[in-house]
């Protein structure tokens, strides 16, 4: 793990940020299992909020702006619930949340994440080389949709460059997500213990 996670007090929760395909959902699920807590994926919360079946469908039928608005609303609802009911099943202590790669680019989402950090959440930036992201996304595109008309490698490189300073400003530590997801989750869990 590069950087240090200042987790001298157990964090309220852990938020994973990073590029599409870096493994936030996979690592987040494994991390939550290790910490014996719940895992939430912001993409799933957005789909619930929008009453939609898939990310791809939202982008195709409503556009990226609708997705980003839903992302903001779902993130706000998640943390409002966390603040009001810190010990409920909705958001138990040490919850793990994977945030979509583009959420930190929205200033309002960024404000919510910064507030969460002040409230005791820790933000971990998962990274991986562009080629690793391309390989993962090519092997399993799933419900993801292209954000530009660029070839995938060019799109990811452009987005990574545009988001690098946002991720850096938000995070408490950086973890290489290109390795085995179990090992990545274990390194974060160790820092959170």
Domain holding 33: CATH number?
3.40.50.300
Domain that includes residue 183, residue range? 13-40+94-192
Please count the structural domains in the chain.
1
- Residue 57 within a domain: no
Contacts of 156 (CB under 8 A, 6+ apart): 19, 20, 21, 130, 133, 134, 137
pLDDT for 138 equals: 87
Query: What gap in Å lies between CA 70 and CA 50, rounded to an integer?
Result: 6
Q: Is residue 83 domain-resident? A: no
**173 pLDDT more than 50:** yes
Can you give the pLDDT at residue 153?
Answer: 93
Any domain includes 157: yes
pLDDT at 142: 63
- Asked, for residue 160, whether it belongs to a domain, the answer is yes
In a domain? residue 149: yes
Read off the pLDDT of residues 72-85 as tens digits, 9 standing for 90 and up. Answer: 999 999 998 866 54
Tell me what the pLDDT averaged over the chain comes to: 87
In-domain check, residue 60: no
| Residue 166 maps to a domain | yes
Residue 54 within any structural domain of the chain:
no
């Amino acid at each position: 793990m590069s950087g240090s996670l200042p987790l001298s007090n157990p964090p309220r929760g852990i938020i994973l940020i990073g590029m599409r395909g870096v493994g936030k959902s996979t690592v987040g699920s494994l991390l939550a299992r290790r910490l014996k807590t719940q895992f939430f994926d912001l993409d799933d919360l957005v789909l619930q909020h929008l009453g939609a079946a898939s990310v791809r469908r939202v982008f195709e039928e409503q556009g990226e702006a609708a997705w980003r608005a839903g992302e903001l609303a779902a993130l706000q609802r998640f943390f409002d619930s966390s603040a009001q009911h810190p010990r409920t099943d909705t958001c138990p202590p040490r919850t793990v949340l994977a945030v979509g790669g583009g959420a930190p680019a929205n200033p309002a989402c960024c404000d919510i994440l910064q507030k969460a950090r002040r409230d005791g959440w820790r933000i971990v930036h998962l990274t991986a080389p562009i080629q690793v992201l391309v390989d993962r996304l090519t092997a399993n595109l799933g419900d993801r949709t292209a954000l530009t008309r660029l070839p995938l490698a060019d799109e990811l490189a452009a987005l990574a460059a545009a988001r690098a300073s946002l991720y850096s400003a938000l995070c408490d530590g950086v973890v290489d997500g290109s390795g085995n997801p179990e090992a990545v989750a274990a390194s974060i869990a160790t820092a959170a213990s």
